[in-house]
Amino acid sequence: MTDEVERARARERAADMLADAGVVLTDEERDEMEVVDYGLGDLESVGTEIVVYVNDDRYCAKELVLFPDQTCPEHRHPPFDDYPGKRETFRCRSGEVYLYVEGDGDDSESSDEWSVSPPMREEFYTASEEIHLEPGEQYTIPPDTRHWFKAGGDGAVISEFSSPSYDEKDVFTDPKIDRMAGRY
Amino acid sequence: MTDEVERARARERAADMLADAGVVLTDEERDEMEVVDYGLGDLESVGTEIVVYVNDDRYCAKELVLFPDQTCPEHRHPPFDDYPGKRETFRCRSGEVYLYVEGDGDDSESSDEWSVSPPMREEFYTASEEIHLEPGEQYTIPPDTRHWFKAGGDGAVISEFSSPSYDEKDVFTDPKIDRMAGRY
Ligand SMILES: [Zn+2]
Ligand SMILES: [Zn+2]
């Protein structure tokens, strides 16, 4: 478990990275920043720091912060009820991001060719098409498509624009992961 | 008419303001930046510089740049067909913004109390509730609600998160305005 002291420290560190990228937050946004360890208890290697600007029934916008070499683990956003599943656009603001997305069936790119390695529990990283994002570059992920991403050695700030987020509906490849762990 | 030389100059100036706010653009985004004079031919006072990151059938994200004291004139985003009308969230990134939104019926705030004045053709500025936005502050405008906004003396950079944009459907209060003027 990531304890409250570590979470507070992570918030401060992420807020500093956002400030360096020119992103101004209100005090309330800083205090309410989500620190997600996905229930694995190793925030430094598997985690995401998230500021949600807006998430309503029509659209969603967030900033995602990744510490150096931190990974957001593999997941997909499935359809449910009348909702076709979340589509999301990642725009790199600072640092660099290695994004891996499910390929068109043949999974031609082998993990031998990846620029970075999954953080742990490698068997649960299967999306293999590598997309490298530098500041100003962006990529859109269709609904129900497996993806994971890892920051380069300086960390990364990523703006996410999307259809509404229903985090509790996300499906992670690693069955040990609990997206809602540590929420309060 | 705003000629091509003036448009190119406006793009460069807006790109500099974005860079100062920490926003990195690709060369293509810089070249394709929209310079809107609303057909009034006085870009410095009535205009908006726009970088569209994504605009699909589910969501839209843009950066809006306003030069010092530049105004985006009054308009609303009406529903049409099956579309309930555009909802939009403005987040101030740099500078300051004076946003005026249609009140709850009684239009209690008189224009005497506004912090800034409409640029010209004042009779077409009727939304009267003033919202002042500084960096890190944001406001969401419901569909079909009249609004206009003006930058402070240092200009402003505004991130817009919204449902899909159909600019050609926007309804401006001033009948002389042509949103699509000068598009190419
Ligand atoms: Zn995702
Ligand atoms: Zn609008």
Backbone dihedral region for residue B85 (phi beyond 0: left; psi -120 to 50: alpha; all else: beta): left
Q: Which residue of A has its CA nearest to B22?
A: A22
- Residues contacting residue B155 through CB under 8 Å, at least 6 positions apart: B17, B65, B66, B67, B68, B70, B95
* Domain made up of A4-170: CATH architecture: Sandwich (2.60)
pLDDT tens, chain B, 184 aa long: 789 999 999 999 999 999 999 999 999 999 999 999 999 999 999 999 999 999 999 999 999 999 999 999 999 999 999 999 999 999 999 999 999 999 876 555 678 889 999 998 999 999 999 999 999 999 999 999 999 999 999 999 999 999 999 999 999 999 999 888 866 5
| A136-174 pLDDT tens trace | 999 999 999 999 999 999 999 999 999 999 999 999 999
Distance of CA A114 to the CA centre of its chain: 18
pLDDT at A79: 98
Q: pLDDT value at position A107? A: 55
Residue range B91-132, pLDDT digits in tens: 999 999 999 999 876 555 678 889 999 998 999 999 999 999
Q: What is the ipTM of this complex?
A: 0.95
Q: Three-state SS across chain B?
A: CCCHHHHHHHHHHHHHHHHHCCCCCCHHHHHCCEEECCCCCCCCCECEEEEEEEECCCCEEEEEEECCCCEEEEEECCCECCECCCCEEEEEEEEEEEEEECCCCCCCCCHHHCCCCCCCCHHHCCCCEEEEECCCCEEEECCCCCEEEEEEEEEEEEEEEECCCCHHHCEECCCCCCCCCCCC
Share above pLDDT 70 across residues of chain A, in percent, rounded to a whole number: 96
* CATH no., domain B4-172: 2.60.120.10
In chain A, where are the structural domains located?
A: 4-170
Decide if A135 touches B, using CB distance below 8 A. yes
* DSSP assignments along A50-79, one per residue: EEEEEE-SS-EEEEEEE-TT-EEEEEE---
Give the model's pLDDT for residue A71.
Answer: 98
Is B5 part of the contact surface with chain A (CB cutoff 8 Å)?
no
Quote the pLDDT of residue B107: 55
CB B22 to CB A26 under 8 A? no
Distance in Å, alpha carbon of A138 to nearest chain B alpha carbon: 8
Ligand nearest to the CA of A169: 1
Residues of chain B found within 8 Å of residue A136, distances taken between Cβ atoms: 24-26, 29
* pLDDT of A110 over the 80 cut: no
Q: Of A59, A134, A137, A140, which to mutate for an interface test with B (greatest number of B Cβ within 10 Å)?
A: A59
> Which positions ≥6 away from A81 have C-beta within 8 Å?
none
Using a CB-CB cut-off of 8 Å, the residues of chain A touching B58 are: 59, 87, 163
A10 touches chain B (CB under 8 A): no
